Structure 1
Amino acid sequence: MATSSIHKTNTPTPPESDMLQGAYREFHQRILETLPARRVFTDPLSTLAYGTDASCYRLMPKIVIKSESEAEVRTILREAASLQLPVTFRAAGTSLSGQAVSDSILVVASHGWKTLQVLDDGLAIRLQPGVIGAEANAALLPFGRKIGPDPATINSAMIGGIVNNNSSGMCCGTAENTYQTLKSLRMVLADGTVLDTGDAASAAAFRVSHAGLLAQLGALRARILADDTLAARIRRKYKMKNTTGYSLNALLDFADPVDMLAHLIVGSEGTLAFVSEVTYHTVVEHPHKASALVFYPDIKAACDAIQILAQHKDVVSSAELLDRASLKSVENKAGVPDFIKTLGPDAAAILIETRAASPEAIAANVAAISGFIAHIRTETGIRFTSNVAEYTQYWNIRKGMFPSVGAMRAAETTVIIEDVAFPIEHLAEGTLKLQALFRQFHYDEAIIFGHALEGNLHFVFTPNFSGPAEIARYEAFIEAVCQLVAVEYEGALKAEHGTGRNMAPFVEMEWGPAAYRLMQEIKALFDPQGILNPDVIITHDKLLHVRDLKPIPAVGPLIDKCIECGFCEVMCPSRAITLTPRQRIVANREMALLEKTGDSGRLAEIRAAYQYAGDETCTTCGLCETACPVGINTGSLTSLIRQASLSDVGWAVADTLADNFASATTGAKLGLKALDVVHAVAGDGATGGVMRVLRKVGGRHIPRWNRYFPRAAGKMKTLGVNMHSPRQVVYLPSCLTRTFVPSRHMPDQRPLNEVVASVLGKAGYGIVYPDGLANLCCGTPFKSKGAQDAADKKVSELEAALLAASDNGRLPVIIDNGVCTAALLDGIRDPRLQVMDVTRFVHDVAAEHLSFTPQNEQVALHVVCSMRKKGQAGLLNALARRCATQVLEPKGITCCGFAGDKGFSHPELNESALSGLRLQVRDCGSGFSTSATCEIGLSEHGGIPYQHLMVLVDRATQAKR
């Protein structure tokens, strides 16, 4: 049978990879008898793309499977076990310790695992592993609740990783992590058994079928209880944050073996079972906060304050320690107080936060905290703020430290963020000795910050793994850190990032032989064949942490600063169908490396697959930049690739179209008119059939048709309403407005320019249109294809026309398409021009002349990617709420994937990007956005008609009298 790849979905899948041999070939053949080939990958690009996570390791899986159900996981485990092949599970791949990579079978549990159910009025929540942590919190927000774990990656990390790493974060400490807030787990064990600890029948059946396993867990508990020294060691180590090894505290904290089992799975990193569902007890999300950034002369003074604050966790929500190097890493950034530059070389700071249910309680907390530490000398005093902008700036300073180091590092270096915990009473000594190790091993760029209430420190440094000497330096440094933390101070080598491959060789060093032997026995009980994520947590390889280190070849300044963290992936419209921004960068790095090494065969394979997966299905929306900690826009990379690959003929065609733009749009309208005649006679079904046949013959050059396909616009009426009004505005209808009118299935079939003119007329505005309108364009159609010169030419022409129309900038210029608005805001250079989207103009300016009557309906709102990047999402939502009683912005929908014409040529991208839309908008009567092409795809995949937001504004407004 055939195998799938990240490849064109309308072409035959390539033959089975010759790289698969022996048992892997047999497994592959068996698995394709059950799973669809489109979700089983063996090709070089797919395995490369999933061979990286956020750690410093790369292992290329032989087979990648995108699973979507427990039944599939059971099949995978059964076949893998029969052939003794290792299996690793992965969700978002934001793991930092190498627990989400494999050189065997990698099972991805993300996009098919999105079930989320709020229970008991928010007191509990049931989640599948592919739900992003922030999505869970968004669902709980109306109830004033949240999940306990609060990792810094919560906007990207998925529940599967949060559970399996027992993630914590800035505020949850040891009291509100997954282990402490777990209500129940549903899992698939290595033998294929499904256990739901929240289901009485499932648990009862398991007690019978696995009585032996449960009895052995009971026996392990008895052994610990009989060993006072070991029991005391376990209890002591879990008073601090600790994710090194298995959760041995489960054997002490619970008497029921089923409870022990469930809590052992937490933090087990996929080495004991596959977690298919978790139910959390939720925690309170306090609505009021106050923060203080307190500066101290040295680490000792800061840690003295932290020791006191750690005794008052009832009022102190978090306390982040920042050493001088970490402060220095951000001192030149915008918004950071200049005072930081004047601090002495030994200075440190604490970022303190308190949360409460009321302003009065916040005031009481602030007074108490200030009193607790008032006697310790500071550099600037203690000043709390409840001002959102101020305390957000404080936290942005803290959050900017990791990316600052990543962005400023030398080319070909790797960013590593380590994660240790000292007993709180030794925090100052430990911090100073860590700093001494940085100096000893010449990691001069290293910084320290961390969740100090728990003695938890993160340190960031940037080793270069390009040669044996550098790897040896790294190896010696890690050995010294482990001796310091685990042996000298009996701390935790991993406080919240999970053991992974990174610290697996040092688990015994930290825990001692007796506890480590228990962990080995636990692994053998759950996974007797050792096929679940081998070498993670338990390993016999003492040099595992310096094997399979990730190469970071220099490619170019645009992507060299990428740290492969994966934060970008949640924003990408192609994330579930081809590649994510991180994976595009990984692929480009690999191709650069292959060019240097001369491996032309592999290079050709990856390049061929990348054409579709990396280029054709990239919308260049740039939303990845909004989530990237170092500000990379991978869309810009795609644009550069398109420019470089555009042929001489392509440049010539682009120039011709740019020079004859009016003729090109006229030609498009002729085609639309012919299609509309067919549609009027034949109806939806027959028209769709004809277009499908034509598309099979003509390929992607024939646009995919659906019932919301636009009709041709007639000759545009340049409606000069209110021309004698003192209020004037220049209106630029986009080329789409001039070419399209809504489908016959749209509720309002007026051309958009007439809708805009209606609203402006009610507000008393006279409309001025630029001369030569038919030939004007913002340049986006050309830029998106890589024809930057043609795009620049169109922007220059448009700028001149708008200057003339606006009386050299005296009149504001409004545009009716969000994509065009963003393009002009980026492209126009003359500061006199006042360019804004029509929605912003109505919200900010014209609204004072309009009377709004909210329509009694629930409407859906989609903010197009360009407007979201420009920070206009809140404005569009506010305008929609003035016009409708209920406004829904669907969760998890970022760029719609239509991308101007991609929805016509690559409809699978649009379908994938909007896969969760229909269910979310099922109770809405209509939807609204600000781009005509985006609205076509939104209508098809949402199941409700989407039109321009100005249609709703027109419906809800009258002239103010």
Structure 2
Amino acid sequence: MTTTSTRALDRLAAAHDASHYLLVPAEVATPRDVGEVAALLRSATERGLPLTFRSGGTSLSGQGVTDGLLADTRRHFRHVEVLDDGARVRAQPGATVRQVNARLARHGRKLGPDPASEIACTVGGVVANNSSGMACGTEHNTYRTLDSLVAVLPSGTVVDTGAPDADARLRAAEPELYAGLAALRDRVRGNPESVRVIRRQFAIKNTMGYGVNAYLDHDEPADILAHLLIGSEGTLGFVAEATFRTVAALPHAATGLAVFPTLAAATAALPALTGAGLATIELMDATSLRLAQAERDPAAALAALPPVAEHAAFLVEFLGADEAAVAAARAAAEPLLADLDVVAPLALTGDARERAALWQVRKGLYTMVAGARPAGTTALLEDIAVPVPALLDTCERLTALFAEHGYPESVIFGHAKDGNIHFMLSERFEEPAALDRYRRFTDDLVDLVLGNDGTLKAEHGTGRIMAPFVRRQYGDELYEVMRETKRLCDPAGVLNPGVVLTDRADAHLRDIKRAPAVEEEVDRCVECGFCEPACPSRDLTLTPRQRIALRREARAAEEAGDTALLAELERDYAYDGVDTCAVDGMCQVACPVRINTGDLVRRLRAERPRPLERAGWNLAAGHWAGAARAGGAALSLAAALPTPLATAATAAGRALLGADTVPAHHPGLPGGGDRRRPRAAERPVAVYVPSCTGAVFGPGDGGDGVTAAFLELCDRAGVQVTVPEGIDAMCCGTPWKSKGHDRGHRRMADRVRPALWAATREGELPVVSDAASCTEGLAGLLDELPGPVRVVDAVAFVHDTLLDRLTVTAPLPSLA
């Protein structure tokens, strides 16, 4: 049965997505399957309650927020099925683009849409927003690569457009909708002006309004409906499953940065570059280059340049199935590339590290601008598209608008060959003058883009931000076609009202998110959601984004004098926000502005008055070898006892000392592990620090355990590693650091640092750790040594150092 919550913490956590809009849902629901979604839709229609579906929460235009019922479709809709040896893939809306592409990788295939947010954006959002990306253009976007979908309409009807008789089924189940779509198809096709406008608008990237090009591209109402749902932002129905035709994944590349003296020189070269077969041509304006050049460690191509003045650059890349294909493309384009009006010769590289550094120049722009914005300001990342010949004029006039309206640090970047540019603003919306400034800027932006025959939304979806301008972009006739499309699909108007279409001229200025200053980690967060797929507690309680958002909500309640709400949030946050955070730092790896929410949680834990717990952990830090052996012995004893007896014993302990102090026994727990022992080596290439987890917990499958397996692999490969003396008393420090026990952490650090400094020969040898959390813990612990010590995860060490020396006799098809 669908789980529904009206708890303030759940509603406020769900209120925040990547956009700059904020609406607090009345209820948050978590349906588990299509049947429960259909029931939600029927219930919302009967109650007249607005209903919004959300998966990844990475949409930027306000299409994922509501003050009605918010349905989380990420948690239970993650199934991915590869079809036809990778030629097609079927995925549910909660699966991320990266997860789908990971399943396709072994087949040499990938999804056509390649959004920059692929680490966190989900199939649901890809379909809802008609996603594209840096390389796919309009040829391989969601609309063009959709094969079929399963959708749930507001009436509760489930439509499978992949069924052979899909059209007949739609006619039988929804006769009014079927007839209405057929009538709109004929109406659009019979109006030459509508046909002209549609062909012009959808010749470029365009996610403004509904995809009325479906009325020209498809004949049967079932196919028309399927393609109208793409880019409809959850306003016409719920897409429960989508099947895509995939594209070839091209793993080989050559990348370079072409820096031009002016934007005019860059855009003048664009037609020739587009014709040269480049997969990507990414634009960066002068402000972008100045910010990138000022970074602590800029890419070599930028570091070698004189100070940026009026320059502009293209990050260009060839892709190919193999090195020969890339070499052939480079050779064919060589005369053109050599003749470019650039300030330094364009050097293409296939080296992975050099390519990553170049891409960081482009992808790091968001990080630089968002991370450096003043505390208390909200970041806006917007996008538009114009015909390529109008790109220069649009960029120059947009830069002038930044200056005119007081946004001097705004940057322009984007997908030049598509005429698709992005720009970023920072604004303090709680000030009325700032909101008025944003209104005037938006009005001028609309005039500029539509005056150049462009679209006000290229990739990010209409949402709330551009809904007031849909009529102006398409004209009265096509706007009425869109309104009738909405009426046919959602007669009660319960699906995401105010998104895509609106009667409010000021809708883009309402319900804007404020960002009260709280603390360092919180103030830098742009709530993009990139951290969420990496969070271990995302399906238990909260994600890093939600932990940060709730700190903002608590501060807002405090400033408003709402003591009742503040008390409720603090009470529930203690468990959901603090106790259940793994503090493993994986959120920082994914975060574009490098926030480690674990640091925030550790600080909050350290502020708790728990003297007995602190004393116990401090004692353990001084006697860790004995503590680890005691833990292992307890597990071995529990494993030897009859299960009911062990369970009853831990239950009694939990009742007496508390559930947070005594862990519950589970019959699936292994026995205790083996004591860690030092290991000498004459010619070691690394210092191995086996995790103390293996000393407490024995192997669960009856095997030899991680430590023995790793050392056996080293022996077979003929690679010597040493295990330091005193290893049984060492730990990475994570148990203390994660709980905020600073004194115990310092005590452990004082033992481990000198021992590993000596064992690594003062940093000459790397440290190898066999647990990811220990790798992260040791890296932080060793930061304060006199010199650098490299910490390597055992998986990476085996891949980089051992694998080529081993004979693989029984390869596994997959570990997934």
Could you tell me which of 68, 72, 92 is aligned with 2:32?
A: 68
Residue type of the alignment partner of 1:620: V
Match of 2:752 in 1: 798
Cα distance in 1 for residues equivalent to 2:244 and 2:492: 31
- 1:563 lines up with 2:563 in the alignment: no
Indicate if the aligned counterparts of 1:74 and 1:188 stay in contact, CA closer than 8 A: yes
Q: What's the CA shift string for 1:106-146, capped at 9, x where partnerless?
A: 11111211121111121111111111111111222222221
Q: CA deviation at 1:341?
A: 5.4
Could you tell me which of 672, 696, 704 is aligned with 2:664?
A: 704
Cα distance in 1 for residues equivalent to 2:801 and 2:57: 33
- 1:285 lines up with 2:249 in the alignment: yes
- 1:782 lines up with 2:736 in the alignment: yes
Structure 2 SS opposite 1:65: strand
Structure 2 SS opposite 1:448: strand
Cα distance in 2 for residues equivalent to 1:327 and 1:490: 28
Q: Which stretch of structure 1 is more off in the superposition, 696-705 or 86-95?
A: 696-705
Match of 1:642 in 2: 605
Q: CA deviation at 1:667?
A: 4.8
Residue type of the alignment partner of 2:704: D
For residues 487-526 of structure 1, what are the structure 2 equivalents within 5 Å? Answer: 488-526=451-489
Residue type of the alignment partner of 2:546: Q
Match of 2:293 in 1: 331
Structure 2 SS opposite 1:560: helix
Q: CA deviation at 1:492?
A: 0.2
Cα distance in 2 for residues equivalent to 1:882 and 1:446: 55
Q: What's the CA shift string for 1:894-944, capped at 9, x where partnerless?
A: xxxxxxxxxxxxxxxxxxxxxxxxxx4xxxxxxxxxxxxxxxxxxxxxxxx
Could you tell me which of 234, 237, 247 is aligned with 2:201?
A: 237
Q: CA deviation at 1:782?
A: 1.7
Cα distance in 2 for residues equivalent to 1:811 and 1:496: 48
Structure 1 SS opposite 2:282: strand
Cα distance in 1 for residues equivalent to 2:371 and 2:614: 34
- 1:158 lines up with 2:118 in the alignment: no
Match of 1:477 in 2: 441
Q: What's the CA shift string for 1:455-479, capped at 9, x where partnerless?
A: 1110111111121111111111111
In structure 2, runs of 5+ residues without a counterpart are none
- 1:49 lines up with 2:9 in the alignment: no
Residue type of the alignment partner of 1:702: V
Residue type of the alignment partner of 2:747: K
Q: Which stretch of structure 1 is more off in the superposition, 157-166 or 369-378?
A: 369-378
Residue type of the alignment partner of 2:785: D
Cα distance in 1 for residues equivalent to 2:597 and 2:802: 27
Cα distance in 2 for residues equivalent to 1:511 and 1:179: 19
Cα distance in 2 for residues equivalent to 1:88 and 1:215: 27
Cα distance in 2 for residues equivalent to 1:836 and 1:489: 54
For residues 37-116 of structure 1, what are the structure 2 equivalents within 5 Å? Answer: 39-116=3-80
Indicate if the aligned counterparts of 1:824 and 1:835 stay in contact, CA closer than 8 A: no
Structure 1 SS opposite 2:90: strand
Structure 2 SS opposite 1:711: coil
Assess, with a 3 A threshold, how the Cα gap between structure 1 residues 481 and 817 changes in structure 2: closer, same or farther: closer
Match of 1:320 in 2: 282
Cα distance in 1 for residues equivalent to 2:59 and 2:716: 55
Match of 2:810 in 1: 885
- 1:748 lines up with 2:710 in the alignment: no
Match of 2:550 in 1: 587
Assess, with a 3 A threshold, how the Cα gap between structure 1 residues 889 and 57 changes in structure 2: closer, same or farther: farther
Match of 1:18 in 2: none
Q: What's the CA shift string for 1:803-849, capped at 9, x where partnerless?
A: 67788789987766664454333223334796767x75xxxxxxxxx
Structure 1 SS opposite 2:498: coil
Residue type of the alignment partner of 1:793: R
Q: Which stretch of structure 1 is more off in the superposition, 731-740 or 50-59?
A: 731-740
Match of 1:121 in 2: 85
Cα distance in 1 for residues equivalent to 2:725 and 2:164: 72
Cα distance in 1 for residues equivalent to 2:720 and 2:323: 45
Match of 2:725 in 1: 770
Residue type of the alignment partner of 1:364: A
Larger RCO (CA under 8 A, 6+ residues apart): 2
Cα distance in 1 for residues equivalent to 2:655 and 2:199: 67
Cα distance in 2 for residues equivalent to 1:880 and 1:101: 54
Cα distance in 2 for residues equivalent to 1:555 and 1:526: 43
Q: Which stretch of structure 1 is more off in the superposition, 533-542 or 297-306?
A: 297-306
Residue type of the alignment partner of 2:550: A
Q: Which stretch of structure 1 is more off in the superposition, 120-129 or 580-589?
A: 120-129
Q: CA deviation at 1:432?
A: 0.3
Cα distance in 1 for residues equivalent to 2:802 and 2:813: 9
Match of 2:392 in 1: 428
Indicate if the aligned counterparts of 2:383 and 2:460 stay in contact, CA closer than 8 A: yes
Residue type of the alignment partner of 1:781: P
Match of 1:949 in 2: none
Assess, with a 3 A threshold, how the Cα gap between structure 1 residues 377 and 636 changes in structure 2: closer, same or farther: same
Match of 2:151 in 1: 187
Assess, with a 3 A threshold, how the Cα gap between structure 1 residues 666 and 349 changes in structure 2: closer, same or farther: closer
Q: Which stretch of structure 1 is more off in the superposition, 137-146 or 396-405?
A: 137-146
Match of 2:573 in 1: 610
Could you tell me which of 496, 500, 515 is aligned with 1:537?
A: 500
Structure 2 SS opposite 1:259: helix
Residue type of the alignment partner of 2:288: S
Structure 1 SS opposite 2:429: coil
Assess, with a 3 A threshold, how the Cα gap between structure 1 residues 128 and 721 changes in structure 2: closer, same or farther: closer
Indicate if the aligned counterparts of 1:297 and 1:344 stay in contact, CA closer than 8 A: no
Structure 1 SS opposite 2:427: coil
Assess, with a 3 A threshold, how the Cα gap between structure 1 residues 176 and 881 changes in structure 2: closer, same or farther: farther
Assess, with a 3 A threshold, how the Cα gap between structure 1 residues 305 and 339 changes in structure 2: closer, same or farther: same
- 1:527 lines up with 2:481 in the alignment: no
Cα distance in 1 for residues equivalent to 2:252 and 2:123: 26
Assess, with a 3 A threshold, how the Cα gap between structure 1 residues 872 and 479 changes in structure 2: closer, same or farther: farther
Q: CA deviation at 1:366?
A: 2.4
Indicate if the aligned counterparts of 1:122 and 1:140 stay in contact, CA closer than 8 A: yes
Q: CA deviation at 1:757?
A: 9.1
Q: CA deviation at 1:695?
A: 5.1
Structure 2 SS opposite 1:342: coil
Cα distance in 2 for residues equivalent to 1:811 and 1:479: 60
Q: What's the CA shift string for 1:732-764, capped at 9, x where partnerless?
A: 665445555446x62338x95798599669969
Q: CA deviation at 1:784?
A: 1.8
- 1:247 lines up with 2:207 in the alignment: no
Q: What's the CA shift string for 1:181-212, capped at 9, x where partnerless?
A: 11111101111111111012443221223233
Identity of aligned residues (%): 37
Assess, with a 3 A threshold, how the Cα gap between structure 1 residues 822 and 362 changes in structure 2: closer, same or farther: closer
Cα distance in 2 for residues equivalent to 1:764 and 1:213: 69
Indicate if the aligned counterparts of 2:260 and 2:313 stay in contact, CA closer than 8 A: yes
TM-score (norm 1): 0.79
Q: What's the CA shift string for 1:847-903, capped at 9, x where partnerless?
A: xxxxxxxxxxxxxxxx6xxxxxxx76955994897666325775xxxxxxxxxxxxx
Cα distance in 1 for residues equivalent to 2:230 and 2:188: 20
Indicate if the aligned counterparts of 2:97 and 2:118 stay in contact, CA closer than 8 A: yes
Structure 2 SS opposite 1:203: helix
CA RMSD between the two structures = 3.1
Residue type of the alignment partner of 2:664: R
Q: What's the CA shift string for 1:10-62, capped at 9, x where partnerless?
A: xxxxxxxxxxxxxxxxxxxxxxxxx25xx211111111111011110111101
Structure 2 SS opposite 1:241: coil
For residues 196-345 of structure 1, what are the structure 2 equivalents within 5 Å? Answer: 196-310=160-274, 312=275, 315-333=277-295, 334-337=297-300, 338-339=302-303, 342-345=306-309
Cα distance in 2 for residues equivalent to 1:225 and 1:761: 71
Q: What's the CA shift string for 1:613-669, capped at 9, x where partnerless?
A: 111110001111111111111111111111122434444444344345455446545
- 1:461 lines up with 2:461 in the alignment: no
Structure 2 SS opposite 1:784: helix
Residue type of the alignment partner of 1:171: A
Cα distance in 1 for residues equivalent to 2:676 and 2:226: 68
Indicate if the aligned counterparts of 2:463 and 2:500 stay in contact, CA closer than 8 A: yes
